[in-house]
Structure 1
Amino acid sequence: MPHYDLPKFKTLTYIKTRTSPDDGKGFNELRFEDKAGKEQVFIRSQKRYDLRARGSMYETCGGNRQEVIGVRSDNQPGGNLAVTVGGNYDLHIKDSHFVGIDGKLNESVKGDVVEDYQANLSTIVGAKTELNAREITLEALTKISLKVGGNCIMIDPSGITIAGTITKINSGGFAAGTGNPAFDDALDAEPADTGEPGYLDRPRSGGGGGRRRRNLRSQHYIAPPRPGEDPRITAMRGTLANSEQGRHALEVYDRYGVSSSFRPGEGSTFDPGDNNMNINPAQTPDRQALGFVHEMNHAEEHHEGTSGDIENQTRDEYVDAMVDEESEGVVRSIEARDELIESGHESAAETSYPLQDEYHTAYDQGVADARAANPNISDADAAAAGRAAGRQRVEDGFRNGEVETSNSGESYPDYYGNAWDGAHPAGGGTP
């Protein structure tokens, strides 16, 4: 290599080697600058830099330390950092600690976690917070407050205060359960070169691709069987426990005390008159379980007072309400089927529902559109956009006559329109 210009760089001592074959750009360098006030040790690697200590390594920096990983000319994220510690990892910061993450944060701890905050703790979440545990205990010295708008519940040493525009007990819908979020496991770091010739030509792992993604499994309470419960219903509890829609259907079944039967030749139905669900005994267990989900949608609409009212609604109001109810029941069965398959209950894939493929196509497009509109959207929000698109597609299909009833072959708008007409014969007046 040519020397640096002399006498301009007379205080430099260096070893500098060119890339072979020489491309005129690549080089490795070890350089010492000994000029007073400008002292520096400079190490440059054209491609890879390995440092290996057989024993302990100690590093003391008397001033500031700056580290940049993955420099790209377009200022986009580039390189990765992987650290593997065989023993303990201790970090003591004597002033403040600032962390900024532009992407996601995944933390997995196999042992206990203890956090000690000796002052205030403030947490702001821009979307939704979910906490799932076997048991949760909250204790405050002076007060616990739960507040949404002008409604609140306050607990203090003097008692419990509930303030709300309307207070509902055993009515007003169901709370959503926690989901099963996707989790990306950490990668182990790749060890440094051992110094053996040809080491870098061998296959290696760690510090690069191959990250494992898995879905965490939330814990959910499932009510025990009722006294004298049909074993087929008890078996459905075990199946539907693996599905969010299935768990919701079980909550409806138990909250409203719906009875069940397996009468042949009647299909799967819900009769609001005697609060009974009939399941077709000729169907497979998976089909019966998913039919359970569908019929409990009808039960929920009835008990919550949102089902169509053939006596007191206009024809259009009644048809709209019932078509919405039917399409929602199919959507819930489709989603329960997908959730069971995802949880490992593969036999659920043998069942199918009207507009199932259309739902999935709309779901995928909804997710793609949401990510295109917001590249930083969370997986949960993207999935919610997909479900909304799929649900709308199924509802549209029911409204435009793509789906026919199994008993009469009519479209659902015609079926419920004719039912309303039968309840309001000509000259009988309208509500």
Structure 2
Amino acid sequence: KKKPVINGVQTAIVTGDSADEIMIDQFGRVKVQFDWDREGKKDSKSSCWIRVSQNWAGKKWGAFFFPRVGQEVLVDFINGDPDQPIISGAVYNADLMPPYALPAEKTQSGIKTRSTKEGGADNFNELRFEDKKGSELLYIQAEKDKQLYVKNDQNDKTDNDHNVEIGNDRKVDIANNDSLKVAKNRIAEMGDNDTLKVGKTLNIEAGDEIIIKTGSAQIKMSSSGNITIEGTNIDIKGSNVKVDGSAITLSAGIIKLN
């Protein structure tokens, strides 16, 4: 008896057990229920395991996107053999609409996932491209954590402004040197304390002035060589104090020397 041949592509719905949102085996295969199947229960017994075509596939490397339960897929048959089905793609439909409103957002493309299990419309990772002329955008969202691992150098360049907003703590660990160059002004504002600890030498150099101020107390150093210390009370203490100069002027209502 001649084996039947299936010509063309068929559509089917990915199936699984009732508690599954993703049901695959160790080879990344899934099960489906074909549109013509009137006896299937849309469960793990609706079909045999079916391989899923990917854009790239190597030994432990490649691209991998696996259909989830409820998605509509295209099923082809290798050489028309009904015993060799293969999923060649997935399609949107009236119940499973694209992630972006069309045709209004027709200039957008990308990848948008859905958190599982029981993820909602606001739970997703996304890589989105906006190609509208004058409004081009590369958008990345991590629903929770993001990790970036660079095994050698990393170079970032921003031609205009660069804004960083951190909702909690920030920690930077540098194994060797750190260099920062600012062409104009730099402002650093701390809400509470600021601690600087240097293992060896601390050098502070300014072209015009260095001013250290807290309340009514102030130390001012100018490039002319003048140093001014101001305060309600100034205490200088040391086991030995040496004042050396070509001239010393003391001016006060009362001068006490002990």
**So what's the TM-score if we normalise by structure 1?**
0.32
Q: Which residue of 1 aligns with 2:253?
A: 165
CA distance in 2 between counterparts of 1:150 and 1:113 reads 27
Does structure 1 conserve the Cα–Cα contact (< 8 Å) formed by 2:110 and 2:127? yes
Does structure 1 conserve the Cα–Cα contact (< 8 Å) formed by 2:217 and 2:231? no
Does structure 2 conserve the Cα–Cα contact (< 8 Å) formed by 1:16 and 1:28? yes
Q: Which residue of 2 aligns with 1:89?
A: 178
CA shift at 1:166, angstroms?
A: 2.1
CA shift at 1:124, angstroms?
A: 1.3
The correspondence for 1:47, drawn from 144, 149, 152, is: 144
CA distance in 1 between counterparts of 2:194 and 2:145 reads 28
Percent identical residues: 26
CA shift at 1:94, angstroms?
A: 1.0
Does structure 2 conserve the Cα–Cα contact (< 8 Å) formed by 1:142 and 1:156? no
1:16-35 map, 5 Å: 16-24=112-120, 25-35=122-132
Change (3 A) 1:157 1:10: same
- Residue type of the alignment partner of 2:101: D
Does structure 2 conserve the Cα–Cα contact (< 8 Å) formed by 1:17 and 1:28? yes
Q: Which residue of 2 aligns with 1:110?
A: 199
CA distance in 1 between counterparts of 2:154 and 2:233 reads 59
CA shift at 1:169, angstroms?
A: 2.7
Change (3 A) 1:2 1:88: farther
Secondary structure of the structure 1 residue equivalent to 2:250: strand
CA distance in 2 between counterparts of 1:145 and 1:36 reads 58
1:405-424 map, 5 Å: none
- Residue type of the alignment partner of 2:110: Y
Is 1:58 the counterpart of 2:155? The answer is yes
Q: Which residue of 2 aligns with 1:121?
A: 210
CA distance in 2 between counterparts of 1:148 and 1:103 reads 23
CA shift at 1:23, angstroms?
A: 3.2
Q: Which has the higher helix share?
A: 1
Change (3 A) 1:145 1:156: farther
CA shift at 1:96, angstroms?
A: 1.1
**So what's the TM-score if we normalise by structure 2?**
0.52
Secondary structure of the structure 2 residue equivalent to 1:123: strand
Secondary structure of the structure 1 residue equivalent to 2:125: strand
Is 1:80 the counterpart of 2:169? The answer is yes
CA distance in 1 between counterparts of 2:124 and 2:110 reads 12
1:327-342 map, 5 Å: none
Q: Deviations over 1:258-314 (max 9, x none)?
A: xxxxxxxxxxxxxxxxxxxxxxxxxxxxxxxxxxxxxxxxxxxxxxxxxxxxxxxxx
Does structure 2 conserve the Cα–Cα contact (< 8 Å) formed by 1:16 and 1:29? yes
Q: Which residue of 2 aligns with 1:6?
A: 102
CA distance in 2 between counterparts of 1:150 and 1:18 reads 66
Structure 1 unaligned residues grouped into runs of 5+: 71-78, 130-137, 171-431
- Residue type of the alignment partner of 1:12: Q
Change (3 A) 1:128 1:82: farther
The correspondence for 1:67, drawn from 164, 173, 178, is: 164
CA distance in 1 between counterparts of 2:233 and 2:197 reads 37
Higher RCO (CA-CA < 8 Å; seq separation 6+): 2
Change (3 A) 1:147 1:48: closer
Q: Give the total of aligned pairs.
A: 150
Does structure 1 conserve the Cα–Cα contact (< 8 Å) formed by 2:216 and 2:231? no
- Aligned CA RMSD, in angstroms, stands at 3.0
CA distance in 1 between counterparts of 2:165 and 2:225 reads 47
Larger Rg: 2
- Residue type of the alignment partner of 2:165: V
- Residue type of the alignment partner of 1:167: I
Change (3 A) 1:149 1:82: closer
Change (3 A) 1:109 1:158: closer
CA distance in 2 between counterparts of 1:144 and 1:23 reads 65
1:151-300 map, 5 Å: 159-170=247-258
Q: Deviations over 1:51-94 (max 9, x none)?
A: 11111111111111111100xxxxxxxx1111111111111111
Structure 2 unaligned residues grouped into runs of 5+: 1-95, 235-242
CA shift at 1:164, angstroms?
A: 2.1
Does structure 2 conserve the Cα–Cα contact (< 8 Å) formed by 1:28 and 1:44? yes
Does structure 2 conserve the Cα–Cα contact (< 8 Å) formed by 1:15 and 1:30? yes
